[in-house]
Structure 1
Amino acid sequence: MPDSRGRTGLDRAGRDLTRNPDVVVRDVEVTSDGWHVLRRTTFEHRRRDGTWQVQQRETYDRGDGATVLLYDRERATVLLTRQFRFPAYVNDHPDGMLLETAAGLLDADDPESAVRREAAEELGVEVGEIAPVFALYTSPGSVTERLHCYAAPYGAADRTGAGGGLVEEGEDIEVVELPFAQALRMVADGRIVDAKTVLLLQWAALHGPFAVGAAPAPGR
Structure 2
Amino acid sequence: MSQNNPTVKLHSKELLSDNWGKLYKVNYTYILKDGSEQNQTREVYDRGNGAVILLYNKEKQTVILTRQLRIPTWFNGNTDGLMIEACAGMLDDKEPEECIRRETEEETGYTLTDVKKVMEVYMSPGSVTEILYFFTAAYSDAMKTGKGGGAANEQENIEVLETPFTKAMEMITAGEIKDAKTIMLLQHAKINNLLG
Fold shared, TM-score > 0.5 on shorter chain: yes
Give the drift of 1:189. Answer: 1.0
What's the % identity of the aligned pairs?
Answer: 44
Partner of 2:169: 184
**RMSD across aligned C-alpha pairs, in angstroms?**
1.0
Distance in 1 (CA, whole Å) between partners of 2:49 and 2:166 is 30
Matched, 1:63 2:48: yes
Partner-residue secondary structure (3-state), 2:157: coil
Partner of 1:130: 115
Listed as ranges, the gaps of 5+ residues in structure 2 are none
Matched, 1:207 2:192: yes
Q: For each residue in 1:175-199, what CA deviation from the matched residue of structure 2 results, as whole angstroms up to 9, or x when unmatched?
A: 0000000000000110000000000
Q: For each residue in 1:29-70, what CA deviation from the matched residue of structure 2 results, as whole angstroms up to 9, or x when unmatched?
A: 000011210001111101122101111111110100001100
Regions of 4+ moved over 6 Å: none
Partner of 2:15: 30
Partner-residue secondary structure (3-state), 2:167: helix
Out of 152, 176, 179, the position equivalent to 2:137 is: 152
Distance in 1 (CA, whole Å) between partners of 2:78 and 2:171 is 15
Higher relative contact order (CA 8 A, sep 6+): 2
Amino acid at match of 1:198: I
Q: For each residue in 1:57-103, what CA deviation from the matched residue of structure 2 results, as whole angstroms up to 9, or x when unmatched?
A: 11110100001100001110000110000001111012111110110
Partner of 2:158: 173
Listed as ranges, the gaps of 5+ residues in structure 1 are 1-13, 215-220
Amino acid at match of 2:145: T
Give the drift of 1:128. Answer: 0.7
Partner of 1:113: 98
Greater percentage in strand: 2
Amino acid at match of 1:85: R
Partner-residue secondary structure (3-state), 2:38: strand
Amino acid at match of 1:64: N
Does the CA-based 8 Å contact 1:18-1:24 persist in structure 2?
no
Give the drift of 1:208. Answer: 4.3
